[in-house]
Amino acid sequence: MTLEILTADTLAPLRHGFFTRKGGASSGVFHGLNCGFGSTDQSDIVTINRARVAEAMKVEPSHLVTVHQIHSADVITVDGPHDTPLPKADAMVTATPGMALSVLSADCQPVLFADHDAGVIGAAHAGWRGALDGVLEATIDAMVDLGAERGQINAVIGPSLSQQAYEVGPEFVEEFLDHDHDNGRFFAGGKGDRAQFNLPAFGLHRLREAGINSADWLHHCTYSDPDRFYSYRRSIHEKEADYGRLISVIRL
């Protein structure tokens, strides 16, 4: 099956893509393009899937770099392939041609960044914790340190958990309100004491407040489209043993 790759006009002509689960070698609950070595999928199958992604990005597998994601605001600068164990962080930036930055997700926001004129790119994994703690702003700052102009950076949020599927408890809401009372705008009423959180809207807000040129969301919900996307939350609700990880990539 052919790989399905979602792209954004604001990141073109740089080679990039938010890959769906279509076109992979994994089977069972991982059926499709599972790119997560952190899953219980067979590591050799994940290696095959990642090789297919590297081929689509026209790089060697060693130049498809990633990090050990920990839901942090930590960013690393990449100037070449890195060895295992992977560095712990949730975002990467580079100004080195031929490098492809990749992040994994299964409900959290994968965010790709580019300043075309400066030749600087970035990729971030931004769940609610990372977004609240500032991983998006930290990625932008790291790009600026490499020579990017803040006002020339474009950012795109890929497939993520939508508000309709993101039910949270009162303690979750309270943490956001404690950080900034205006964050209440990102919650809608749910059943009982539950609320529905708009993660992509929160990500867009943080990106736009950071003063970049443009910020967009592709408007794909990971939870509601099981044929195309993996979803951690859906796997919990369906009592599956594990879940696959989507990959999002941008290369210079």
Rounded distance between C-alpha atoms, residue 217 and residue 205, angstroms: 11
Pairing of strands 246-251, 16-19: antiparallel
Residue 91 sits in which domain range? 5-147+155-162+216-251
Find the helix packing angle between 135-145 and 199-209, rounded to 10°. Answer: 30
pLDDT of residue 156: 98
pLDDT of residue 40: 93
State the CB neighbour count (10 A cutoff) for residue 237: 11
Rounded distance between C-alpha atoms, residue 182 and residue 186, angstroms: 9
75 within domain boundaries: yes
236 within domain boundaries: yes
Which tokens hold the place of 166?
A: 């993101």
175 within domain boundaries: no
Q: Which residues of the chain have pLDDT under 50?
A: none
Which tokens hold the place of 146?
A: 């490499």
pLDDT of residue 82: 80
Rounded distance between C-alpha atoms, residue 87 and residue 101, angstroms: 13
71-to-5, 109, 176, 188 alpha-carbon distances in Å: 25, 11, 16, 24
pLDDT of residue 1: 67
82 within domain boundaries: yes
Rounded distance between C-alpha atoms, residue 116 and residue 153, angstroms: 8
Q: Tell me the CATH number at 22.
A: 3.60.140.10
pLDDT of residue 89: 97
190 within domain boundaries: no
139 within domain boundaries: yes
Rounded distance between C-alpha atoms, residue 248 and residue 222, angstroms: 13
191 within domain boundaries: no
Number of structural domains found in the chain: 1
138 within domain boundaries: yes
pLDDT of residue 83: 76
